[in-house]
């Protein structure tokens, strides 16, 4: 149970956090009147953070697969 929670709980938790951050960026762009370009820049920065998480997960998977 502990291993399952560690493996999937972090992934599900980070996924939920990413969805919450999408809402935060949308609300920030709306309240600050960022416009289309500003909103795209905000979402680009968020997407780069998400991409970093996905790359970290892929690298971890590949390293663990090659170790065994």
0.85 exceeded by the pTM?
no
pLDDT in tens, 35-46: 999 999 999 999
Instruction: Report pLDDT for 43.
Output: 95
Instruction: Report pLDDT for 10.
Output: 81
Residue ranges making up the domain that contains 30? 2-67
Q: What are phi and psi of 46, to 5 degrees?
A: -65, -40
Is there a contact between 26 and 43 (Cβ–Cβ < 8 Å)? Answer: no
| Cα–Cα separations (whole angstroms), residue 7 to 13, 44, 62 | 10, 28, 15
pLDDT in tens, 4-20: 888 788 888 888 998 99
Based on the structure, what is the number of domains in the chain?
1
pLDDT in tens, 56-68: 989 999 999 988 6
């Amino acid at each position: 149970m502990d291993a399952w929670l560690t493996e999937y709980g972090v992934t599900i938790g980070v996924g939920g956090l990413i969805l919450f951050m999408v809402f935060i960026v949308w609300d920030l762009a709306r309240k600050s009147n960022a416009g289309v370009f500003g909103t795209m820049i905000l979402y680009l920065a968020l997407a780069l953070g998400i991409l970093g998480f996905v790359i970290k997960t892929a690298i971890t998977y590949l390293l663990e697969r090659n170790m065994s």
